[in-house]
Structure 1
Amino acid sequence: MGREHAVRDFLRARRAAVSPGDVGLPHAPGARRVPGLRREEVASLAGVSVDYYTRLEQGRALNVSDSVLRAIARALRLDEEEVAHLRDLVGPSAGAPRASGRATQGIRPGVAQLLATMESLPAYVLGWRGEVLAANRLARALFTDFEAMPAPQRNLVRWLCTDPTARELFLDWEDVAADAVAALHRQVGKDACDPLIAALVGELSVVSEEFARWWASQRVFSRTHGVRRLRHPLVGRLDLAVEHLLVPGPLEQALVVHSAEPGSASAEALGLLASWTAPGRGATPQEAERGSRLEG
């Protein structure tokens, strides 16, 4: 990928998404050669020279001042998430080494202990590339056993985009997977030269048509909270609130916790799933599912 390509692709996509009428420009007769705004129109709206904007879009301008960045953001009608992404790509700190760019990550012993004690709540720790660094017993039963996978494959985006069981599990799989891709795209701005990100994007662009389409859209998104609607093969329908809690430190990890409304059918289903994963229980959820089918 590289920072230059990331800047170019993002600005071109955002420029193509804005029509002249969106920003008050008069309609010109005849067909336009490019969708959306032309470079000279963006430059005029932002109050910069065409040459400067061209160099910026080509990734040849660094350390863009916040005032210029904001002017370009207004011209392209960027939201705050997109402004933050553009700042990461071309702002004063663009290209600076990041601790989060380490090839491998682990979690602190205290975080691992916290994860293990959350027996009634499915929870896992995400790395900045979407790696599932650790998952508690209930999360492995609810989603998939990431820890049984080879380490390079323990990635939430890869699982969502390539595993058929993920499509079956999430009732709104397309929204969940598209958000995960957009969240990965948001992280790229922070280290566009990361070789592991480049390898992951290259792999998924080949094996997943949906990933390739979502990646090309240049949408960015930051995980914070939401709702997950699932149909689990063992316990049925669950509606769960999800919170992404930042783990303090330089590695940009997040503790992702799911919970059900007390007294709800989802809470009952989650409790049932927890009972199947309790220490000393004779059957795993997969074995229990096979057994229930035989009994049926």
Structure 2
Amino acid sequence: MTNALGDYLRTRRERLTPAEAGLPGHGHRRVPGLRREEVAFLAGVSGDYYVRLEQGRDRHPSEQVLLGIARLLRLDEDATRYLLQLANPPAHRRRAPRPEQASEGIRTLIDSWPLTLAYVHGRYLDVLAANRLAVALSPFNAPGYNSILAAFLEPEMRELYEDWEDMTARVVPYLRAIDGADTEDPRLVELLGQLTLRSERFSTLWARQDVKRKSTGATRFNHPQAGPLQLHYEKLVVPGSEQTLITYHAEPGSETEERLQLLAMLSAPGEVRDSPASRSQRD
């Protein structure tokens, strides 16, 4: 049986220094983080109880205790929510065998945006729909691909993202925020297995146990035809689903907007690399 709650508490404890927790200096320490007894004392619980939590021998802690530990460990809203989910995981749900699909309305909407890149993710970051400009930026934005697999396993993505290190450091906490607490989900286990075996970068980031649902920001691309692009992104939850609409736009009147116009002209309909889904349908 996994001990996801205990592993998470231990990792976060080890990453918080005594100074950050308001403890006076104690000279040389063998480890930089907090000791178990220090967490217990500052959180107002017994040392034995906290040890049982980390060892997985108490799997039903009260929300009050967990919120106290979250405050001590300086967890933000996303990380605190994740901690509570680990302590009270949902009953494993049997999912319908049919694949997720984006609605026709969403497809029509994003296709109507000539200078805004847009695509739709499913729960596991599978691409369910994308407009022409998004696919022109990267063929891995086409429906049938999985964005997190592409980010870590496709060499072209390192060339496309000028800030690939920053991008990957964002996407792993995002995956953990939306899916990571469901440790019994077969699809999630499969994804994590592939990524852990094939990407040292992913393994390192996943082991940090960071949780962050960052929904807005900016990133830099270097497209082989359009050149450098500075784009702002927004991630919007599609109501009534586990899907997310991701959009990228340029500052009005900027050089990037001009380059997006060039990219739109260069991307003729039909020039889309075969995705796994399209190959499967053809076969």
Relative to the length of structure 2, the TM-score reads 0.87
1:269 aligns with 2:269: no
Question: Are 2:202 and 1:248 aligned?
Answer: no
**Could you say if the C-alpha distance between residues 90 and 201 of structure 1 is closer, same or farther in structure 2, counting changes exceeding 3 Å?**
same
What percentage of aligned pairs have identical amino acids? 44
2:103 is aligned with 1:129: no
Q: Distance in 2 between matches of 1:155 and 1:187?
A: 15
Tell me the distance in 2 between the aligned counterparts of 1:56 and 1:178. Answer: 28
Q: Where in structure 1 do 4 or more consecutive aligned residues deviate above 6 Å? A: none
- Give 1:133's aligned amino acid: L
Q: Which amino acid aligns with 2:167?
A: V
C-alpha RMSD of matched pairs (Å): 2.4
Cα gap change, 1:113 to 1:166, in 2 (>3 Å): same
Q: Which residue, out of 249, 264, 270, partners 1:259?
A: 249
| Superposed displacement of residue 9, structure 1 | 2.3
Q: What is the match of residue 68 of structure 1?
A: 65
Please report how far the alpha carbon of residue 278 of structure 1 lies from its aligned counterpart in structure 2 after TM superposition: 4.2
Given residue 277 of structure 1, which amino acid in structure 2 is its aligned partner? S
Query: Match of 2:34, as an amino acid?
Result: L
Distance 2:96 2:35 in 1: 39
Q: 2:70 is paired with a residue of what secondary structure?
A: helix
Matched position secondary structure for 1:211: helix
1:140 to 113, 126, 135: 135
* Match among 103, 119, 123 for residue 108 of structure 1: 103
Match of 2:184 among 180, 188, 193: 193
Q: What secondary structure, in the 3-state scheme, does the structure 1 residue paired with 2:139 have?
A: coil
**Partner in structure 2 of residue 176 of structure 1:** 167
The 5-angstrom pairing of residues 156-171 of structure 1 reads: 156-171=147-162
Amino acid at match of 1:243: E
**SS in structure 2 of the partner of residue 125 of structure 1:** strand
Match of 1:13 among 8, 11, 20: 11
Q: One-letter code of the match for 2:227?
A: G
| Residue 46 (1) aligns with residue 46 (2) | no
Shift of 1:147: 3.6
Q: Which residue of 2 aligns with 1:294?
A: none
Shift in Å at residue 30 of structure 1?
5.9
Task: Identify unmatched segments of 5+ residues in structure 2.
Answer: 274-283
Instruction: Return the letter of the residue paired with 1:172.
Output: D
Q: Give TM-score scaled by structure 1 length.
A: 0.83
1 CA distance for matches of 2:64 and 2:57?
18
- Alpha-carbon distance between aligned partners in 2 of 1:147 and 1:21, rounded to the nearest angstrom: 47
1:226 Cα shift?
Answer: 0.8
For 1:158 and 1:279, locate their aligned partners in 2 and report how far apart those are by CA, in whole Å. Answer: 25
Contact 2:119 2:130 in 1 (8 A): yes
Contact 2:140/2:147 (CA < 8 Å) preserved in 1?
Answer: no
> Are 1:273 and 1:285, in contact at CA under 8 Å, matched by a contact in 2?
no
Q: Contact 1:234 / 1:285 at 8 angstroms: preserved in 2?
A: no
> What does residue 290 of structure 1 align with?
none
Alignment match, 2:205: 214
Measure, in 2, the Cα distance between the counterparts of 1:177 and 1:50: 37
**1:30–1:241 CA distance, 2 compared to 1 (3 A):** closer
For the structure 1 residues 26 and 120, does the alpha-carbon distance in structure 2 shift closer, same or farther, using more than 3 Å as the test?
closer
Look up the SS of the partner of 1:23 in the other structure: coil
Confirm or deny: 8 A CA contact 1:204 1:211 kept in the other structure. Answer: yes
Amino acid at match of 2:75: L
2:114 aligned residue: 119
CA separation in 2, counterparts of 1:110 and 1:126? 15
Equivalent pairs counted in the alignment come to 272
Amino acid at match of 1:78: L
- Matched letter for residue 20 of structure 1: P
For residue 234 of structure 2, give the secondary structure of its aligned residue in structure 1.
Answer: strand
8 Å contact 2:119–2:245 — kept in the other structure? yes
Counterpart AA for 2:178:
Q
Counterpart Cα distance in 2 of 1:179 and 1:60: 32
Q: Deviations over 1:115-170 (max 9, x none)?
A: 2222321110012222212211110110224447xx4xx21111111111111111
- Report the alpha carbon displacement of residue 108 of structure 1 after superposing the two structures with TM: 1.8
Give the corresponding residue for 1:83.
Answer: 80
